[in-house]
Structure 1
């Protein structure tokens, strides 16, 4: 199949909300670079800073010193308000996650100080069904420069791409060190930034019942010393939203995952925190049962973060990967986890996907059921098959190479040369895996009885708000798996001419 035969995977109204032009765009990898950029973007904003997230910790330092300390984010926001009192600073975070923070005196006192500052508005988002969360991570500056991805402005997130062992900068506000952390996001300028501003303002209104004022269109510009990855490209915005108070359910993100899997020709490279969605797993298995299927490479954390998550997510991941392995070409799925030079696990929180070096997707959505239908999510995608995006494949390939090189701790040139020789992502990784900092294959240890019961019945990862109240006979991994298999069998490979 020639490149001319490619049809866009992205289709407005099917798997995305809007397709808008980005004058410039750049993927930011790991929070050290993002937090340093965020500090500058907030300082340069003239009219409004809008921060929307799952978590927001005012105790963290955006630029931690060698002791992991520095000016706190909370004090920095107060300084911004003092320096420019006419600039609005609007912060919206998930309500349930905030409740436990209000028992931390330092956080509570800072929130009170914000409340007493006229230009800062800190609000909680509860505009979702019980059991759901607001999971988007979006920042908008002056309504036309935006950041969308997976990085929370929170504790235990800061890290560099070096993921050094015992890096003293990686110290939580409580003084304790935390594990290395890998993440990603994307900064975008132009009409797509305005569209993300519209999404943010709509979310603000749903959560607070108040409208954010319109701006005059002037203000934040792309930082002059920040090199862009893309210029003049069309970017798709995809969402998940549960039905709530008259707002219809949105499952664009789920549809995009399925369409990506159906359209892939050579490979999909995933970085994701979870893999527990039976529907997605079944779609992968169906492709691997076909002739000459693509490769699927997943880079994930060794274990989920937290005991409950490990019980629910790790067991389901093992069950799904074991089931996919039974496919005709089951060996074309490999799941890896990264570790440091001394062997400490690097936690993968990124939600990045690259298809055939023709499409890149960065966002907040995990490959779990919650991100398909429960939690509010937002992803951005650049598809080379869209007319405005012609010729972006080398840039996407460079970004994919950079990520693999980071995880393997090898030069990008080695990744390029090995991939050119093998033509295979799996063979490339296997050839370059080594001692020290590298990637390891996921150990598919069978889950215990309790883990298996929780995972099999999707007790902590339901497919929809209603599913949380269904009986065990009406839910579970097997039913999700059958839904994905049936969808793939009904649809021809999407995004390619018949």
Structure 2
């Protein structure tokens, strides 16, 4: 029996001839550049952010001075039939006020007849468009966590000082880990439908469906999966005549509750009490799985740190009181010199049987407020299971700073994710346990009332006294007097 249910926890299933997960933006930027070079009719870019000043190729193989803006301006000169459409979340455009040269670049793109740049305001107040989708000729698409913007590029080695890890102004930024997924065929067509719908809502223009007999697949990108069904899950708040969609939350819950042996997940945030409640339910059943969550040490930005970090600690404390065998753990990756690696990936693997990659975080905004899009697959044969296991091994080896063979050998010996991590982690480039420290009173107040992480547009303006981080968990144990003492206790 399949995990996926169209209309409830996914939108639809679609066939892909090929699929590949791309880890870290160094490889993603190389792949997407090659894919855009092969485009014949249309490139449709849907993003939370977009910065034409960044450089896609930073490995020295091509033109090291070519910016994304240069590249996009030159493509139509090589192909007069090519149309390039760029759609960016409108409130995110406020960042451009601090990027003077970026505004100039956008103006240059706007003057190019074959390039159109638009801002997407088709969302309720307070929501964001968080999808990261690129569709080429309606037959190749990438969907995941990586925007074509600053502070994203990094290599899997996550060196303490990488000469390519610089902003357009030349300043250095820290190590960054991310992931995205490429598909072709009808699965790419499904992503095109989502992207074209976004374009229509934002601009009122209905883009035609392209019928391309020969599908693009970028040179140099090795497929990890072939001839498979891909599930597409979405989230969106209700807006005007368009109803709300909440597939991504249902799929997270179902994946957690279906786990038999282990869950390996990477995510930027963990502040969803619905997800925490699902974890607790699964831990309370017989033979609970191991659950490994890889996250950044702190959220990006002071306000997010206050809200997200405190909520994560509070939920981890609640889970810990229902996890006597310590099977749920949060790790954070470090560089060789102990620098924190920022985890921006949104990825989950269950039992090497189910794989999910997308834009959705494990927070209230992603699961109820913002527009999101995730891809998922369920293995139907040993080749697909081996492909998922190989990806998990690759990610664990990257974070542990070791060879993939050592991860395979240790996991084969122990059969345990946690035992493998404990055997291989150590000083230098590795994984460290997330420290669980008591939040400040102010941070705890903000986190417990979800002031900066609401579940819906309406809750953004609801009185604080009606909101509680622990409501979904409390619902699980309604009537138990000791709930508040256990779930809301502080360390």
State TM-score, norm by structure 2.
0.94
Q: Distance in 2 between matches of 1:65 and 1:101?
A: 27
Q: Distance in 2 between matches of 1:193 and 1:78?
A: 25
Name the structure 2 match of 1:379: 374
1:51 counterpart (40, 45, 49): 45
Q: Distance in 2 between matches of 1:169 and 1:399?
A: 25
Name the structure 2 match of 1:4: none
Q: Distance in 2 between matches of 1:146 and 1:319?
A: 38
Name the structure 2 match of 1:260: 255
Query: Where does 1:173-212 land on structure 2 (aligned, <5 Å)?
Result: 173-212=168-207
Q: Distance in 2 between matches of 1:156 and 1:27?
A: 20
1:107 counterpart (69, 90, 102): 102
Residues 114, 121 of structure 1: 8 Å contact kept: yes
Name the structure 2 match of 1:310: 305
Name the structure 2 match of 1:449: 441
Q: Distance in 1 between matches of 2:248 and 2:476?
A: 14
Name the structure 1 match of 2:320: 325
Q: Against the structure 1 CA distance between its residues 330 and 366, is the aligned structure 2 distance closer, same or farther, given a 3 Å change threshold?
A: farther
Q: Distance in 1 between matches of 2:476 and 2:192?
A: 33
Matched, 1:145 2:140: yes
1:99 Cα deviation (Å)? 2.0
Name the structure 2 match of 1:437: 429
Q: Against the structure 1 CA distance between its residues 342 and 485, is the aligned structure 2 distance closer, same or farther, given a 3 Å change threshold?
A: farther
Name the structure 2 match of 1:493: none
1:225 Cα deviation (Å)? 3.5
Query: Where does 1:92-491 land on structure 2 (aligned, <5 Å)?
Result: 92-218=87-213, 220-329=215-324, 331-385=326-380, 391-483=383-475
Residues 357, 374 of structure 2: 8 Å contact kept: yes
Q: Distance in 2 between matches of 1:175 and 1:126?
A: 31
Name the structure 1 match of 2:58: 64
Q: Distance in 1 between matches of 2:98 and 2:218?
A: 38
Name the structure 2 match of 1:39: 33
Residues 138, 211 of structure 2: 8 Å contact kept: no
Aligned Cα root-mean-square deviation (Å): 1.5
Residues 89, 120 of structure 2: 8 Å contact kept: yes
1:392 aligns to what SS in structure 2?
helix
Name the structure 2 match of 1:489: none
Unaligned runs of 5+ in 2: 479-491
1:244 aligns to what SS in structure 2?
coil
Q: Distance in 1 between matches of 2:99 and 2:402?
A: 42
1:181 Cα deviation (Å)? 0.3
Q: Distance in 2 between matches of 1:201 and 1:232?
A: 25
Q: Against the structure 1 CA distance between its residues 483 and 218, is the aligned structure 2 distance closer, same or farther, given a 3 Å change threshold?
A: farther
Q: Distance in 2 between matches of 1:437 and 1:225?
A: 28
Moved more, 408-417 or 129-138: 408-417
Q: Against the structure 1 CA distance between its residues 97 and 475, is the aligned structure 2 distance closer, same or farther, given a 3 Å change threshold?
A: same
Residues 233, 373 of structure 2: 8 Å contact kept: yes
Name the structure 1 match of 2:489: none
Q: Distance in 1 between matches of 2:153 and 2:476?
A: 36
Superposed CA offset, 1:311-345 (max 9, x none):
00000001100110000436110100001000000
Unaligned runs of 5+ in 1: 1-6, 487-498
Superposed CA offset, 1:254-298 (max 9, x none):
000110111100111000000000111111012112221011100
Residues 137, 151 of structure 1: 8 Å contact kept: yes
Superposed CA offset, 1:32-73 (max 9, x none):
00001111111110000000010000110001267x962111
2:20 counterpart (18, 21, 26): 26
Residues 283, 484 of structure 1: 8 Å contact kept: no
1:242 Cα deviation (Å)? 0.2
